Amino acid sequence: MKRKLIAAIGVAVMVAGVAACGSDDKGSGKAAAPKEITVWLTVDAQKNWPELVKQADDAFTAKHKGVKIRHEYYEWTAKNQKLDAVLATKKVPDVVEMGNTETLGYLVKGAFAPVDKSKFENSGDWLDALEGSVTYNGKTYGVPYYAGARVGTWRKDVAKAAGVTKAPTTWAELTDALDKIQKKNGDKFSAWYQPSRDWYTALAFVKDAGGDVAKEDGGKWTATLSDPKSIEGLKTWKSVLDTYFHGDKNKDESDRYIVYGQGKSALIYGASWEGGAAADPKTDKTGKLKDNLETFALPGPNGDLLPNFIGGSDLVIPAKSAAQDLAADWINGFTDSAAQKVLISKGNLPNAKSLLAPLKDDPATAASARANENTWFVPTAPGWLQVEKKQILQNMLNDIAVGKASIEDATKAADEQINAVINAG
Amino acid sequence: MSAVDTPLDKVPRPRPAGPGRKPRRFGGAALPWTLLAPTIGVLLLVLGYPLVRLVTLSFKQYGQAELWQGLPGDWQGVANYTHVLGDPVFWGVVLRTLLFTLAAVLLTLVAGMGVALLMQRVSTWVKALINIVLVASWAMPVVVAITIFKWMFDSDYGVLNWLLSRLPGADFSGHNWFTDTKQGFLVITLMVVWGAIPFVAITLHAGLTQVPKELEEAARMDGAGPVKVFRHVTLPVLKPIIVMLTTLSVIWDMGVFPQVFLMRDGHPEPAYQVLTTYSYDQAFVANDYDAGAAIAVVTVLLLLGVMAVYMRQMLKIGEVE
Amino acid sequence: MLDTAPAERTPAAAPAARALRRPRRKGRTVYNLLGLLVVVVSGFPVYWMLNTAFKPAKDAIDPDPKFFPTSLSFQNFSDALDVGDFWGSVGRSLIVSGATVGLGLVIGLLAALAISRFVFRGRKAVIVAILAVQMVPLVAMIIPVFLLLNQIDQIDKLTGLIVTYLTFVLPFTVWTLRGFIVNIPKELEESAMVDGCTRMGAFFRIILPLLAPGLVATSIYALIQAWNEYLYAMLIMSQENQTATVWLGNFVTSRGTDYAPMMAGSTMMGVPVVVFFLIVQRRVAAGLTAGAVKG
């Protein structure tokens, strides 16, 4: 309790005005015991693992009798907009789910309260990509919730028809197989359906070639997409698109599983749930997906696996929350080992390395579990969220893919745009 | 043609109430102001006051930190304005918005008038059908309408490409309507016009019922063709409504937001930015609330400029009372 | 809907109109065909919504679209009802829309009368101001409005939402009603007053009935605005006090849009608006007849 109080004082400078309003009537340093907590999650939890929410609620209510839990579920884009506005009021949520690339922009402005890492299960070996996203100036400001890896998913039946019987393990095997598949199915078919705006994949090629989006020097970030190595990666990516992707080059990856379900392509490289979603009878128009999907860790041109972007979610506590202890308790029940088991069963990666290891032995999860072998993450720069929100990378990739701009020109323009925002808080 | 020239003669025309004329029997200024009080009160509170804040915001440095901590923000003078007005990208956005508005307003009014006139001329059952369709499409939440339009125009599973591909010699499968900005804006304009027609058509139709039938009749007796009757009898009566609808359409189409924003998945490409999305981008994407406010203020001023002609026109109509 | 124009109902005009239309039967067929074209084109999105709502969810997205449900299914509706709090959100939407329409009409009519029937200093300024406030893009006002509602403690309250919507519909209501009032000759009410009607009486018996079409147009407009508004509802209300449009947002997830239940949900949401429209339409007919007789 004492430690919590000290931690709370850490943010008191910022919250001073608000906190004063809230605890004036009490007088003593200790705030009144809150009667309820508000939890904001994204719709994923509501749609895909409501039982986990209930499990966490039950654990929480058993410990804190009479404290009510209010749940609110938001769709990703609406959530931040609403959060920005609500943080200006006194009635802020106590727990908020944040994407791991979203947190930093809020951390630099002191929006979230620090948490006591030791209170949470598995906090010793949280996944780096998640732990990094809640760490700022050496302090922890949130709890990793779950992660998602990218896996290759392809159709065994299509591969077999083209004479390929085994999932590729090297880049040469992969391109060889794709060549055969492409040849067999004609140029209306996409051997690899790879939407141009899917920047997670494009940047994986950049990383694989030794390039990067931006690099830090003395606290200052500079965009490096137009560096020779980055361009080399983008060239490989572009040739993949030119050779194997014959669909709509202006689309993003949001409906990839729907298009894949329509049977117009053999391979997708996307989040691990996408294959399953495509095989759902609602989306599977071929009727063959269910029995013929195979997932594997996608090899990269460089000999390693293609660097995997580890996206994921964290749970944070707004600095203005009046029930930070209770919030932490709820988060604990929602992220402990038992909870991670539920999340794994839904096709996610757990938040800790120790929980990840056993997944490699299970063929159903092996591909995504291996993803952690070679990962990459976005620059941890204060202005990164703006790079994402402004769609700088997506627009650049789109221009390259449809031939509106050469790789050299497009990257140069993108570098300028990135440099303009990446250091701003 | 006398009836055609003075269409309103049969309807007692309201007398001009010029400055020299005393508004007979109608009390002093207290009554009208009392009648206006609730409207003005509400508008001052929820639009006026925030508007003042918006303007002051545009002269300040105001980001998330200020918002969350309730800080007033530091004054930075006209920096936002000099930056915005000196930015060629901004002027590109302005031009795009104006062109789009022009196209959408013209299409909306012409099509709306067409539907309204048609409704007068069709059989009752067709009219009932038109009414049902108009109201049902009007009632459709914009969010849903956009979802449906996006879906209809989808390159992989859109019904439009499918239908067009049935045409002999046409292959639209996989055609993306948003690759070419012109086509993209065509789709967006269609959708905006589609959404605006019910309101315009229903209002114009209601207005048409106010056109005295005897007048049209008299004009026809005098040998005026349908076009002349429309121009010289119907249009003058409808004029206040048309002016009003044009004004509103200009305002709405220049302020179009969700249709562009959501059609482009919440992040319009630079070539799809219009004034509102541009302002939104500055405020909520870049979290630069002051810059967004400055763009909004400039938008309002531009609108006022565009509308100055119309406002004078409307005031003239107002003076006839 | 508004096929009951005063002129058509007056005994003198009716035969004339009939005589006029008789020789143009052929024209009528052409017009009917054009009308049906309008119905098909304009109604397609609505039809697509209904079609999707009633066909099995697995047929919703199909590269070879099905234009008619192969089998009628209500599964999408029950799926939609399972998500979140549909009835509660619809109830709140009804309250908010009803209050917005009612208040908007009463307050707006008063203001419209003031600026179209009275001459007073500052009238022009008021007219211009009411027009000008409409030009402020609402998107840009989010933050200031939010801060204001926060200051007066109206965040997450239906009253806060109602007041906000009122400001959205009031300028429009005033403008539209003014347009209709201008077209009603002042002499009508003056002569009624000469005949012994009070000013109020003249208003209720003469102006109001003649205004019916305008009132319908504005009330439908206000209803639809309030019923369908998304951005402000999403920001101002917490989820447990959410309105129906925001409820629809539940179907848009990071794992794609759930088309089938979403269309079922919006079908259900469209019902109150259409019902309101039908009710209003009857009232209008009655009001107009009354007006014609008295006038």
For chain B, domain boundaries: 93-319
Judge: C238–A72 Cβ closer than 8 Å, yes or no: yes
Judge: B26–C136 Cβ closer than 8 Å, yes or no: no
CA angle A79, A85, A89 (to 5 degrees): 125
Of B217, B205, B223, residue with least CA distance to C15: B217
Nearest to A273 among C84, C150, C255 (CB): C255
Of B292, B47, A424, A169, residue with least CA distance to C168: B47
In a domain, C219, yes or no: yes
Number of domains in chain C: 1
Mean pLDDT estimate for chain C: 81
In a domain, C2, yes or no: no
Binned at pLDDT 50, 70 and 90, residue C13 comes out as very low
Residues of C in contact with A92 (CB under 8 A): none
Residue whose tokens read 């203005």: A320
How far A264 CA sits from the closest chain C CA (Å)?
A: 10
The predicted pLDDT at position A5 comes to 42
CATH tag, B93-319: 1.10.3720.10
Count of C-beta atoms within a 10 Å radius of residue A183: 12
Please report the DSSP string for B11-56 in residue order: SPPPPP--TTS--TTS--SHHHHHHHHHHHHHHIIIIIHHHHHHHH
Token readout for A155 is 């159709």
Judge: B179–A250 Cβ closer than 8 Å, yes or no: yes
Contact indicator for A100, A313 with CB cutoff of 8 Å: yes
Contact indicator for C87, C271 with CB cutoff of 8 Å: no
CA distance A122 to C109: 65
What three-state secondary structure class fits A99?
Answer: strand
CA distance B286 to A391: 11
Nearest to A88 among C150, C239, C249 (CB): C150
Contact indicator for B229, B184 with CB cutoff of 8 Å: no
In a domain, C88, yes or no: yes
CA distance B60 to B297: 13
Could you give all domains of chain A from N- to C-terminal order, each with its CATH number?
2-148+310-372 (3.40.190.10), 150-308+379-421 (3.40.190.10)
In percent, the amount of chain A with pLDDT more than 90 equals 62
Region C128-138 average pLDDT = 81
- Entry field: residues in chain B: 321
What three-state secondary structure class fits B72?
Answer: coil
In a domain, C258, yes or no: yes
- Residue C39, pLDDT above cutoff 50: yes
Binned at pLDDT 50, 70 and 90, residue A386 comes out as confident
Judge: A421–B176 Cβ closer than 8 Å, yes or no: no
| Largest Cα–Cα separation, chain C | 71
By CA distance, what is C240's nearest residue in A?
A: A72
DSSP character for B9? S
In a domain, C53, yes or no: no
β-strands A190-192, A265-271 pairing = parallel
Region A391-399 average pLDDT = 94
CA angle B15, B16, B22 (to 5 degrees): 95
Contacts 24+ apart (CB under 8 A), C269-273: C269/B141, C269/C90, C269/C93, C269/C227, C269/C244, C269/C245, C270/B136, C270/B139, C270/B140, C272/C90, C272/C94, C272/C227, C273/B135, C273/B138, C273/B139, C273/C220, C273/C223, C273/C224, C273/C227
Chain segment A117-152, per-residue pLDDT in tens: 999 999 999 998 899 899 998 999 999 999 988 999
Mutation pick from A193, A389, A423 vs chain B, by most beta carbons of B within 10 Å, is: A389
Region A345-373 average pLDDT = 85
Judge: A84–B156 Cβ closer than 8 Å, yes or no: no
The predicted pLDDT at position A63 comes to 93
CATH of the domain at C169: 1.10.3720.10
The predicted pLDDT at position A14 comes to 40
Q: What is the pTM of this model?
A: 0.83
Of C48, A299, C228, residue with least CA distance to B154: C48
- Residue C24, pLDDT above cutoff 70: no
Region B17-22 average pLDDT = 42
When computed from its CA atoms, the radius of gyration of chain A, rounded to whole angstroms, is 23
Judge: C234–A42 Cβ closer than 8 Å, yes or no: no
What three-state secondary structure class fits A297?
Answer: coil
Q: Exposed (0-12), middle (13-18) or buried (19+): which is A29, by Cβ within 10 Å?
A: exposed
CA distance B307 to B251: 9
- Residue A278, pLDDT above cutoff 70: yes
Token readout for A402 is 């449809």
How many inter-chain contacts (A to B, CB under 8 Å) are there?
A: 71
Binned at pLDDT 50, 70 and 90, residue A233 comes out as very high
Count of C-beta atoms within a 10 Å radius of residue B82: 11
Q: Is B94 on the interface with C (CB under 8 A)?
A: no
Mean pLDDT estimate for chain A: 88
In a domain, C276, yes or no: yes
- Residue C28, pLDDT above cutoff 80: yes
| Residue predicted with more confidence, C279 or A393 | A393
Q: Exposed (0-12), middle (13-18) or buried (19+): which is A125, by Cβ within 10 Å?
A: middle
Is the Cα dihedral B50, B51, B54, B59 positive or negative?
negative
One-letter identity of residue B286: A
Chain segment B114-127, per-residue pLDDT in tens: 999 999 889 989 99
Q: Is B270 on the interface with A (CB under 8 A)?
A: yes
- Residue B265, pLDDT above cutoff 90: no
Mutation pick from A18, A77, A86 vs chain C, by most beta carbons of C within 10 Å, is: A86
Nearest to B247 among C114, C131, C214 (CB): C131
Region A173-187 average pLDDT = 95
Helix axes A392-402, A228-244, angle to 10 degrees: 60
What three-state secondary structure class fits A376?
Answer: strand
Binned at pLDDT 50, 70 and 90, residue B317 comes out as low
Q: Is B174 on the interface with A (CB under 8 A)?
A: yes
CA distance B44 to B52: 10
Direct distance between the N- and C-terminal alpha carbons of chain A, in angstroms, rounded to an integer: 33
Of A268, A295, A302, A300, residue with least CA distance to A283: A268
Q: What is the ipTM of this complex?
A: 0.82
Judge: C256–A258 Cβ closer than 8 Å, yes or no: yes
Chain segment A13-62, per-residue pLDDT in tens: 343 334 334 333 433 334 567 889 999 999 888 888 999 999 999 999 99
The predicted pLDDT at position B111 comes to 96
By CA distance, what is C261's nearest residue in B?
A: B144
Region B191-198 average pLDDT = 94
Residue A309 Cα distances to A174, A205, A271, B213, angstroms: 20, 11, 10, 71
The predicted pLDDT at position B274 comes to 94
Please report the DSSP string for chain C in residue order: -----HHHHSTTHHHHHHHHHGGGHHHHHHHHHHHHHHHHHHHHHHHHHHHHHHS-GGGSS-SS--SS-SS---HHHHHHHHSS-HHHHHHHHHHHHHHHHHHHHHHHHHHHHHHHH---TTHHHHHHHHHHHTTS-GGGGHHHHHHHHHHTT-TT-HHHHHHHHHHHHHHHHHHHHHHHHHTS-HHHHHHHHHTT--HHHHIIIIIHHHHHHHHHHHHHHHHHHHHH--HHHHHHS-GGG--HHHHHGGGEETTEE-HHHHHHHHHHHHHHHHHHHHHHHHHHHHHHHHHHHH-
Region C196-225 average pLDDT = 81
Region A77-86 average pLDDT = 86
Residue whose tokens read 């063709």: B225
Of the ranges A66-75, B23-32, C33-42, C229-238, which one carries the lowest mean pLDDT score? B23-32
| Residue predicted with more confidence, A317 or C61 | A317
Chain segment C163-194, per-residue pLDDT in tens: 999 998 998 889 878 877 877 887 877 787 77
Mutation pick from C8, C26, C30, C31 vs chain B, by most beta carbons of B within 10 Å, is: C31
Those of residues 219-238 in B touching chain C at CB distance below 8 A are 220, 237
**Which structural domain range is residue C96 located in?**
76-294
CA distance C214 to C104: 13
Phi, psi torsion values for C97, nearest 5 degrees: -65, -45
CA distance A95 to B28: 59
One-letter identity of residue C182: V
In a domain, C147, yes or no: yes
Residues of A in contact with B68 (CB under 8 A): 87-88, 109, 111, 320
- Residue B203, pLDDT above cutoff 60: yes
One-letter identity of residue B260: V
CA distance C38 to A137: 63
Which run of H or E residues covers position A411? helix A407-421
CA distance A279 to A282: 8
CA distance C34 to C38: 6
Residue whose tokens read 């690339």: A101
Phi, psi torsion values for A271, nearest 5 degrees: -60, 150
- Residue C293, pLDDT above cutoff 70: no
Of C238, C236, C241, C243, residue with least CA distance to C154: C236
Contact indicator for C236, C230 with CB cutoff of 8 Å: no
CA distance A146 to A312: 6
Rounded (10°) CA dihedral A11, A14, A16, A22: -80
Binned at pLDDT 50, 70 and 90, residue B169 comes out as confident
Those of residues 233-292 in C touching chain A at CB distance below 8 A are 234-235, 238-240, 249-250, 252-256, 260
Binned at pLDDT 50, 70 and 90, residue C202 comes out as confident
In a domain, C4, yes or no: no
CA distance A256 to A277: 10
DSSP character for A163? T
The predicted pLDDT at position C204 comes to 81
